[in-house]
Chain A
Amino acid sequence: KQEVTQIPAALSVPEGENLVLNCSFTDSAIYNLQWFRQDPGKGLTSLLLIQSSQREQTSGRLNASLDKSSGRSTLYIAASQPGDSATYLCSTLTRTGANSKLTFGKGITLSVRP
């Protein structure tokens, strides 16, 4: 059974700081890994999706890496801004035949102080 862990649960940093959010998973046989952003009481917005054959993906100030063998992914945020304050969740997609299962971590709540 896949387990996705995100530690710490919360993080507070000053504006402008570069930061790394960590995600670990127990089953390395993933199809892909996806990072989402969630604002309070809202839905999830996909930030980056890394296929199992890829090592990293970049979008603007965001860079996500994937190391399947060690069961780890990181989301790097450069030059953080107060608008980056949100909860960041990672999820893994595993497949068994025609069925697929998306497993989420509990998320990391980021607060960027002006």
Chain B
Amino acid sequence: DAGVTQSPTHLIKTRGQQVTLRCSPKSGHDTVSWYQQALGQGPQFIFQYYEEEERQRGNFPDRFSGHQFPNYSSELNVNALLLGDSALYLCASSLQGPGIVGEKLFFGSGTQPSVL
């Protein structure tokens, strides 16, 4: 049973470029959440996708956008990259729906874009 997989692992971009990060949730999970983790900080919630719609959003600008596909996989897009966007981006999957309790999250290994 594959866990949460993210790609790519690392990448290098320059300021002003755009980046797309990808996530495949754990088998059987239907909800994907994205987090940004700066060095020495806890993860900060970006947004959550469920049933191919953005259901919740944290305090991130519109430069951060996403998408969820019918197979529940998800993409995170960041436009007009800034130096401060260099961080670890984590994808987490869970199962939602009536009667689902606990919302235990399973995290991927993350993608580390470096913005130069």
Binds A, one of B65-73, B74-82, B106-114: B106-114
The secondary-structure label for the interface of chain A is: strand
Q: Nearest-CB distance from A106 to chain B (Å)? A: 5
- The interface bits of chain B over 91-111 (1 if a CB of A lies within 8 angstroms of the residue's CB, else 0) are 010000000011111111110
A34 to B40, Cβ gap below 8 A?
A: no
State whether the Cβ of A100 lies closer than 8 Å to any Cβ in chain B: yes
Chain A interface residue number, banded? 20 to 34
Residues of A within 8 A of B41 (CB): 106
A43 touches B110 (CB 8 A): yes
Given A46-B105, A93-B103, residue A41 in contact with residue B88 (CB < 8 A): yes
**Cβ of A20 < 8 Å from any Cβ of B?**
no
**A41 in contact with B105 (CB, 8 Å):** no
A99 beta carbon closer than 8 Å to chain B? yes
Assess the A46–B104 pair: CB atoms within 8 A: yes
Task: Output the least CB separation between B48 and chain A (Å).
Answer: 8
The residues of B that contact A41 with a CB separation of less than 8 Å are 88, 110, 112
Task: Please name all residues of chain B whose beta carbon is closer than 8 Å to the beta carbon of A106 when the two chains form the complex.
Answer: 40-42
What mask results when residues 86 to 100 of chain A are scored 1 for a CB within 8 Å of chain B, else 0? Answer: 000101010000111
Contact A43 B90 (CB under 8 A): yes
Q: Specify which chain B residues have a CB less than 8 angstroms from the CB of A102 in the assembled complex.
A: 33, 45, 105
How many Å lie between the Cα of A31 and that of B103 in the bound state?
Answer: 9
8 A–B contacts from the bound complex (CB under 8 Å): A32-B102, A41-B110, A43-B4, A43-B6, A43-B90, A43-B110, A51-B101, A99-B56
By Cβ-Cβ distance, the 6 closest A-B pairs, closest first, are A104-B42, A43-B107, A44-B107, A43-B109, A43-B110, A106-B42
Instruction: List the interface of chain A (C-beta within 8 A of B).
Output: 4, 9, 31-32, 34, 36, 41-46, 49, 51, 89, 91, 93, 98-102, 104-107
